[in-house]
């Protein structure tokens, strides 16, 4: 992984990612000679000499003008080709300024991002990477992926996850960084690396690591002997469970767990190294079903499907059971016939073969000669007598122990030859065949010569014939017995497979065996040397283990040797024992941890200066603050101090509230102790002025010894309340005592609102109610009208007029013939009514008769007019009929001729109209477009 130039990096063993370091850490990691020689002209090797590029770079066109320090970000600047000295000097100066500015900006960004950015490694542990919110988000996302992986299984089991415990642990380990370690290279297995999974123990290994392991294992096993070196195909074992795989099973492709997809993509919403499809592997033990989970690591869970199966003995009715737990017992007696053919099984319903019969019975031996009590489970037994039966030859008896069936044939009845096999004989089995006397000539053990002895019984002797033999390496030849191997004394000068040592084996046949010396090279742990036989290539990781302890030493974690430098200390439940670094006698109680203790959060409680209170703030003896760095002269200079340093800050001013009254004693408010003293409450003063009527409107201020002269002078007019009804202000300035009587005239209207009156204000305000009413009256008749419509007879008065009208009014009968006079108020109160007499009734009767006569005459006149109009209409109609009859007789002949074609024309018109109506109905009522 390529890292940016301005960033100091620290590579973590077993990881390809880089961790950013602050400037202080980067400077601390520099060698001592570089830390002392920082700055212009301060190097140990040449004082006052500027850094120059190498001679080759300066001679090559386009070479960098001045290569900057790799940690300062100046590696990408190039200068122009070599020019005369003045132009080159100006160009170098401008480049120097650009580099200086870019370096300052890069350093500033580095300092700011060191305390704000988080690690970019997505495989950091949740314990040290991110906050609680980020940890919850990762756990939530991991839970969604696990739920989607197990959904198909849990749907079959109704939410029961008891069968997913083992598989779920494998899936969780894949997500957790550091939980899976390649046992070959002892490095963490990351989600973006190609891996191979063992089919037996389900451990994950890097593809390159397992390929090298397979090659080395086959090589070491096949090179044990010289004869079959590199000739046989030997299996290679799994590094963990030692399950054997043939050489053809050496992984050469990166596939998902279920083997369906090659090179599965790194999807953040899938299980690492998974294709995301259904596993579909055959379940074990084989039940005919396949795995329902999504592509997953580890073993497949038990089959969750429901099947209907009978009990193990087959007597009970089938019941629905889980396929993975379908074997069940009905607890009835088995009753199956045992192999003894005499008894039945008495055990409850069970699976598999019944146990051997535990009873004892009298059993005959195989040959049937003897009887004995034997367990029913082993009815076949042999007695210790020879068979003794006569063989088929009739000359010998069977020498086999007690057996069943027919006896074997006579061993001498087959074709018989002499010991060397050259001469065949037909002698009976009772006579012995003698040697033929000829040369034996059977091939000896050397495979090149034959036996030179006469025909004899037994094995031939060792070949002692002298032959010229070539040594194993092929350099020398010599006469020696055939049965002996010829090895010369020359040593092989070839290099063995380790490519480090010579063979040095006597008379080597060019297939040098593996090196048998100890490797002795320092392992990657830097603590031990390789104990294996000398080999080619890199050594295997150190087999030793190292204990990594926490700070207090209570918790221990065993890790492979060499990983203790990059392994985080184990979590410890003990309390931290580090002494306090501040003024407190002890630290806050927290668990044992690696690295510096967290900042002290106890209250400071140091006495504050100038008061008796103590500092309530959190401890501030060691606070990380930005250091005041000086301006650097150039890119060759490094900051002399780290960007942030720990300093003790002074206690803040005392903020304890002290009840204090303001200057005018309007309120008592809490005032911080460091600002203790009377204050202005920003309210008006409120003290009475010399006038005795107003108060001081100045902001709250001090008054020495109650001296009111320090308040403002009243400049307002008199604002004392006037007598009731007086609208005029007092003409005097603000004064003490009563105001003088008001002498102004008041203009007002009378009670009837017609006349305008002028009354002295003092008389009006000091008068009683009766006098005020008289002063406000114009003494004229009231112009208001009563509800009856007549004018009020009283003089100008206030309020509503009395409804007692005494004016005379006339009241008539309904026919308006009789009238009488009554007072207005009486006529309204008593509702006086004048009734009609007999004369009024006779007059009304005559008027109604006259009206009826007039209505009857009008109806008769209207009926006469209608009759006249009807007779005139009938007369006009008779004249028109006579005229039409004459015309019809004249045109009768012509109408008879044209009646035929008129009927045809009418038929055509009716047909065309029907077709048009049908078309219109189709377009209007038919289906839309």
**What does the pLDDT average to over 152-180?**
75
Task: Give yes or no for a contact between 489 and 471, defined as CB atoms under 8 angstroms apart.
Answer: no
Separation CA 320–CA 309 (nearest Å): 7
- For 918-929, the pLDDT digits (tens) are 766 666 554 443
**What does the pLDDT average to over 339-364?**
83
Sorting pLDDT into bands at 50, 70 and 90, what band is 293? confident
Nearest to 20 by CA among 32, 29, 28, 10: 10
* 3 state SS of 309: strand
pLDDT for res 52:
37
Continuous H helices in 345-396: none
**What does the pLDDT average to over 743-749?**
85
Which pair of structure tokens corresponds to residue 35? 């830390």
- Report the percentage of the chain scoring pLDDT > 90: 2
Output Rg (C-alpha) for the chain, integer angstroms. Answer: 65
pLDDT for res 720:
83
Least confident of 51-55, 172-176, 187-191, 254-258: 51-55
Q: What ranges do the domains of the chain cover?
A: 838-924
Q: Residue 489 to residues 199, 424, 505, 587: CA-CA distances in angstroms?
A: 51, 51, 9, 78
In the predicted model, is pLDDT for residue 536 greater than 70?
A: yes
Task: Give yes or no for a contact between 664 and 658, defined as CB atoms under 8 angstroms apart.
Answer: no
Ramachandran angles phi, psi of 54, nearest 5° = -60, 160
- For 82-116, the pLDDT digits (tens) are 334 444 455 677 777 888 788 777 776 665 544 33
Are β-strands 204-206 and 195-197 bridged in parallel, bridged antiparallel, or unpaired?
A: antiparallel
The pTM is what?
0.38
Separation CA 665–CA 643 (nearest Å): 52
Continuous H helices in 191-331: 207-222
Q: Residue 840 to residues 137, 594, 816, 835: CA-CA distances in angstroms?
A: 111, 132, 9, 10
In the predicted model, is pLDDT for residue 809 greater than 60?
A: yes
Nearest to 620 by CA among 582, 591, 594: 582
- Kindly report the CA angle at 665 between 663 and 669, in degrees rounded to 5? 90
- Per DSSP, what are the bridge partners of residue 195? 206
- For 404-461, the pLDDT digits (tens) are 888 888 877 766 788 888 888 777 777 778 888 888 888 888 888 888 888 888 888 8
**What does the pLDDT average to over 770-790?**
84
pLDDT for res 563:
80
pLDDT for res 925:
54
**What does the pLDDT average to over 516-528?**
85
Task: Give yes or no for a contact between 155 and 177, defined as CB atoms under 8 angstroms apart.
Answer: no
Within 10 A of 202 (CB to CB), how many other CB atoms are there?
A: 17
Sorting pLDDT into bands at 50, 70 and 90, what band is 122? very low
What value does the mean pLDDT of the chain take? Answer: 76
Task: Give yes or no for a contact between 530 and 536, defined as CB atoms under 8 angstroms apart.
Answer: no
Q: Residue 212 to residues 209, 340, 525: CA-CA distances in angstroms?
A: 5, 57, 20
- Report the percentage of the chain scoring pLDDT > 70: 78
pLDDT for res 778:
87
Q: Which residues of 794-824 are buried (b: 16+ CB within 10 A; e: fewer)?
A: eebbeeebeeebeeebeeeeeeeeeeeeebb
More confident residue, 856 or 61: 856
Sorting pLDDT into bands at 50, 70 and 90, what band is 355? confident
Pick from 216-225, 697-706, 745-754 the range whose average pLDDT is largest.
745-754
In the predicted model, is pLDDT for residue 660 greater than 80?
A: yes
Separation CA 517–CA 532 (nearest Å): 9
Are β-strands 756-760 and 808-812 bridged in parallel, bridged antiparallel, or unpaired?
A: unpaired
pLDDT for res 696:
86
Ramachandran angles phi, psi of 904, nearest 5° = -65, -45
pLDDT for res 245:
92
**What does the pLDDT average to over 613-622?**
89
**What does the pLDDT average to over 250-264?**
89
Sorting pLDDT into bands at 50, 70 and 90, what band is 256? very high
Separation CA 697–CA 686 (nearest Å): 6
- For 2-52, the pLDDT digits (tens) are 333 333 333 333 333 333 333 333 333 333 333 333 333 333 333 333 333
Ramachandran angles phi, psi of 823, nearest 5° = -65, 150
Task: Give yes or no for a contact between 61 and 82, defined as CB atoms under 8 angstroms apart.
Answer: yes
In the predicted model, is pLDDT for residue 123 greater than 50?
A: no
In the predicted model, is pLDDT for residue 139 greater than 70?
A: no
Sorting pLDDT into bands at 50, 70 and 90, what band is 314? confident
Sorting pLDDT into bands at 50, 70 and 90, what band is 193? confident
* 3 state SS of 8: coil
């Amino acid at each position: 992984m390529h890292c940016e130039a301005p960033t100091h990096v620290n590579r973590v063993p077993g990881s390809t990612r880089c961790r950013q370091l602050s400037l202080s850490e980067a400077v601390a990691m520099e060698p001592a000679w570089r830390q002392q020689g920082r700055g212009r002209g301060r190097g140990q090797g040449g004082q006052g000499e500027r850094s120059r590029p190498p001679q080759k770079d300066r001679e090559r066109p386009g070479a960098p003008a001045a290569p900057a320090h790799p940690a300062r970000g100046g590696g990408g600047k190039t200068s122009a080709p070599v020019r005369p000295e003045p132009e080159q000097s100006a160009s170098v100066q401008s480049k120097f300024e650009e580099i200086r500015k870019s370096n300052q900006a890069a350093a500033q960004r580095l300092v700011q991002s060191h305390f704000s950015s988080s690690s970019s490694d997505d495989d950091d542990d949740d314990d040290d990477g991110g906050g609680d919110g980020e940890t919850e988000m990762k756990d939530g996302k991991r839970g969604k992926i696990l739920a989607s992986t197990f959904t198909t299984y849990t749907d079959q089991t109704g939410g029961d996850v008891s069968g997913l415990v083992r598989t779920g642990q494998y899936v969780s380990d894949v997500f957790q960084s550091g939980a899976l370690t390649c046992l070959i290279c002892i490095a963490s297995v990351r989600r973006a690396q190609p891996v191979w999974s063992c089919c037996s123990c389900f451990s994950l290994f890097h593809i390159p690591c397992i390929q090298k392991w397979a090659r080395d294992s086959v090589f070491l096993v096949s090179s044990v002997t010289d004869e079959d070196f590199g000739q046989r195909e030997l299996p290679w074992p799994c590094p963990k469970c030692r399950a054997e795989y043939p050489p053809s099973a050496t992984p050469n492709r990166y596939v998902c767990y279920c083997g369906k997809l090659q090179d599965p993509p790194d999807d953040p919403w899938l299980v690492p190294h998974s294709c995301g499809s259904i596993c579909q592997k055959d379940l074990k033990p084989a039940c005919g079903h396949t795995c329902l989970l999504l592509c997953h690591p580890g073993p497949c869970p038990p089959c969750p499907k429901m099947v209907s199966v009978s009990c193990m003995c087959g007597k009970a009715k089938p019941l629905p059971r889980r396929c993975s737990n379908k074997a069940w017992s009905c607890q009835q007696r088995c009753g199956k016939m045992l192999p003894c053919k005499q008894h039945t099984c008495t055990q409850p319903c069970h699976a598999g073969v019944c146990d051997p019969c535990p009873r004892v019975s009298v059993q005959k031996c195989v040959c049937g000669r003897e009887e004995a009590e034997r367990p029913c489970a082993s009815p076949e037994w042999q007695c210790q007598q020879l068979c003794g039966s006569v063989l088929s030859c009739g000359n010998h008896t069977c020498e086999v122990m007690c057996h069943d069936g027919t006896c074997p044939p006579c061993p001498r009845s087959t074709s018989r030859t002499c010991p060397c096999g050259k001469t065949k004989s037909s002698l009976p089995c009772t006579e012995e065949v003698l040697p033929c006397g000829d040369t034996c000539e059977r091939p000896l053990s050397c495979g090149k010569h034959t036996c030179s002895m006469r025909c004899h019984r037994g094995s031939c002797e060792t070949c002692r014939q002298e032959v010229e033999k070539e040594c194993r390496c092929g350099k020398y030849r010599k006469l020696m017995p055939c049965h002996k191997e010829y090895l010369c004394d020359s040593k092989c000068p070839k290099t063995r497979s380790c490519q480090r040592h010579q063979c040095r084996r006597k008379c080597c046949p060019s297939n040098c065996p593996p090196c048998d010396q100890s490797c002795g090279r320092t392992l990657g742990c830097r603590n031990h040397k390789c104990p294996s036989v000398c080999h080619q290539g890199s050594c295997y990781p150190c087999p030793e283990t190292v204990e990594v302890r926490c700070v207090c030493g209570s918790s221990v974690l065993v890790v492979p040797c060499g990983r203790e430098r990059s392994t985080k200390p184990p979590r410890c439940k003990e309390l931290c024992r580090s002494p306090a670094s501040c003024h407190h006698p002890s630290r806050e109680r927290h668990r044992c941890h690696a690295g510096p203790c967290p900042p002290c959060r106890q209250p400071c409680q140091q006495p504050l200066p100038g008061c008796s209170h103590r500092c309530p703030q959190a401890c501030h003896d060691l606070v990380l603050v930005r250091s005041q760095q000086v301006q650097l002269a150039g890119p060759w200079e490094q900051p002399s101090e780290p960007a942030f340093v720990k300093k003790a800050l002074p206690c803040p001013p005392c903020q304890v509230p002290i009840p204090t009254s303001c200057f005018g004693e309007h309120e008592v408010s809490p005032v911080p102790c460091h600002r203790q003293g009377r204050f202005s409450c920003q309210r008006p003063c409120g003290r009475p002025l010399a006038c005795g009527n107003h108060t001081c409107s100045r902001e709250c201020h001090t008054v020495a010894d109650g001296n009111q002269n320090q308040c403002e002078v009243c400049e307002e007019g008199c604002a004392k309340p006037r007598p009731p009804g007086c609208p005029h202000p007092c003409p005097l300035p603000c004064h003490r005592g009563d105001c003088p009587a008001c002498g102004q005239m008041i203009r007002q209207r009378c009670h009837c609102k017609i006349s305008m009156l002028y009354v002295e204000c003092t008389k009006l305000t000091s008068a009683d109610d009766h006098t005020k009413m008289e002063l406000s009256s114009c003494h004229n008749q009231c112009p208001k009208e009563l509800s009856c419509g007549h004018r009020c007879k009283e003089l100008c008065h206030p309020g509503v007029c009395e409804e007692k009208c005494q004016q005379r009014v006339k009241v008539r009968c309904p026919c308006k013939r009789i009238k009488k006079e009554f007072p207005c108020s009486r006529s309204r109160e008593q509702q006086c009514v004048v009734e009609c007499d007999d004369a009024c009734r006779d007059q009304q009767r005559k008027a109604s008769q006259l009206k009826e006569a007039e209505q009857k005459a009008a109806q008769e006149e209207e009926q006469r007019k209608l009759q006249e109009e009807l007779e005139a209409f009938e007369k006009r109609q008779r004249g028109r009929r006579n005229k039409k009859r004459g015309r019809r007789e004249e045109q009768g002949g012509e109408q008879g001729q044209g009646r035929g074609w008129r009927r045809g024309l009418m038929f055509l018109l009716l047909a065309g109209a029907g077709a048009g109506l049908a078309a219109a109905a189709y377009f209007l009522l038919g289906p839309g477009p």
